[in-house]
Structure 1
Amino acid sequence: MYEYLRGKVEYKKPDYLALDVNGVGYKVNISLRTYDFISAGEEVKLYIYNYIKEDAFKLIGFLEERERNLFEMLLGVKGIGVSLALSVMSTFDIDTIRDLVATDDYTNLKRVPKLGEKKSQQLILDLKSKLKTLDALSIDTRNDDAAKHLMIEEELISALEGLGYSKKEINTLITRDELRSFKTIEEAIKGVLKKVNY
């Protein structure tokens, strides 16, 4: 059983990555959000959920412990397994999931591929009683550099969307390497706006 793994990303695919830990390669399943953030050759720390069944053993990795906690909550929802739970977390971040549950917004929740209306309603029903836990998960507890930059990225995208930029335009405004050079969200916003002479 693994609590976390720290190592170098040898390569990545949309649903998993190969993590080199002291010369041993681990196949770690990930969400699309994790895939989008990390890069091959990067040193990362992943919090691990150990999925064990008679015919399968999978390692599922998250950049933050709170992401793993949410994943475990999703697995407790009737009809939701590992693949669907990862799909939910690939589509929405923790704060958005919390808001969708709080407002009974199954219409937007069912945008998750293969979730559907019934399972969306079931997810809200099962997690509704755990709103306090979701609130706690929504509190920013990010300590690692990777998680810190993920927070900056999320806040920067939100700020730029508020200024009227589309996601496509945002992707052309700033590269991943440029984003990682910023230490605060304020610095990131100033850097991007300077590029467009806002």
Structure 2
Amino acid sequence: MIVGLVGNVEGIEPTFITLNVSGVIYGVHVSLRASALLQEGQEARLYTTCIFKEDAHDLYGFLQPEERALFERLLKINGVGARVALSVLSLYGAPEFGALLKAHDLRGLQKVPGVGKKLAGKIMLDLEGYLAFGIAPNPHATEAALALESLGFKSDVVHKVCAGLPAGLNTQEIIKQALQQLR
């Protein structure tokens, strides 16, 4: 699994860049916001997610770990694929998306290409509390929450438990303490 890349940007398209990492050139899907901030010839650090399908192996890159965590969380929602998740991040950064969730702004979410009224409602319902509990700004808490959810714990319960833990813990400590409370 590739979780990050550091290299020189060789080419930029609106939602795709090529990144030269020590002579190996990677094609990476990025948000519109990320491609606007990058320049050819510039060294870039990307936090990545790999998605493997029968017909494709795609790499998605993000400038902040919070963006990657939000992308991965959006992918867990039935009906949200990589294109829609990337469109969300093209229109909203993690803090703006958190404000959108807190305000229950369905119309703002429907501005994302590919998100209609039904999917917007589903995203709101599934992510209720995700950013409201303050999980997203701390990448350790975000990673721990995603790990606990992958173990089968419900999202809302995980976020309530993680929100009650002391600040400054690393990912492993958060998982260990959360598991003690979730038993």
* Band of TM-score, shorter chain: 0.7 to 0.9
Partner of 1:71: 71
Distance 1:114 1:2 in 2: 28
- Check whether the contact 2:48–2:61 (CA below 8 A) recurs between aligned residues: yes
For residues 125-172 of structure 1, the C-alpha deviation after alignment (integer angstroms, 9 at most, x for no partner) is 000042356x2323699xxxxxxxxxxxxxxxxxxxxxxxxxxxxxxx
Q: In structure 2, what residue type is equivalent to 1:59?
A: L
Distance 1:132 1:45 in 2: 28
Partner of 1:171: none
**1:19 aligns to what SS in structure 2?**
strand
Q: Which has the larger radius of gyration?
A: 1
Distance 1:22 1:38 in 2: 19
Q: In structure 1, what residue type is equivalent to 2:136?
A: L
Distance 2:37 2:139 in 1: 18
**Is 1:55 the counterpart of 2:58 in the alignment?**
no
Relative to the length of structure 2, the TM-score reads: 0.72
* Higher share of residues assigned helix: 1
Partner of 2:114: 114
Q: In structure 2, what residue type is equivalent to 1:9?
A: V
**Is 1:136 the counterpart of 2:135 in the alignment?**
yes
Q: In structure 2, what residue type is equivalent to 1:82?
A: A
**1:25 aligns to what SS in structure 2?**
strand
RMSD: 1.7
- Check whether the contact 2:66–2:139 (CA below 8 A) recurs between aligned residues: no
> What are the ranges of 5 or more consecutive residues in structure 1 without an aligned counterpart?
142-198
**Is 1:43 the counterpart of 2:43 in the alignment?**
yes
Partner of 1:124: 124
Distance 1:67 1:102 in 2: 17
**1:114 aligns to what SS in structure 2?**
coil
> What are the ranges of 5 or more consecutive residues in structure 2 without an aligned counterpart?
141-183
Partner of 1:81: 81
Q: CA deviation at 1:91?
A: 0.5
Q: CA deviation at 1:52?
A: 0.7
Relative to the length of structure 1, the TM-score reads: 0.67
Distance 2:138 2:93 in 1: 13
Partner of 2:171: none
Partner of 1:5: 5
Distance 1:26 1:131 in 2: 31
Distance 1:110 1:86 in 2: 14
- Check whether the contact 2:65–2:139 (CA below 8 A) recurs between aligned residues: no
Question: Matched residue pairs, number?
Answer: 140
Distance 1:102 1:49 in 2: 26
Q: In structure 2, what residue type is equivalent to 1:71?
A: F
Distance 1:67 1:140 in 2: 10
Q: CA deviation at 1:116?
A: 1.1
Distance 1:14 1:127 in 2: 27
For residues 20-73 of structure 1, the C-alpha deviation after alignment (integer angstroms, 9 at most, x for no partner) is 011111000100010110101000110110111121100100011111000001
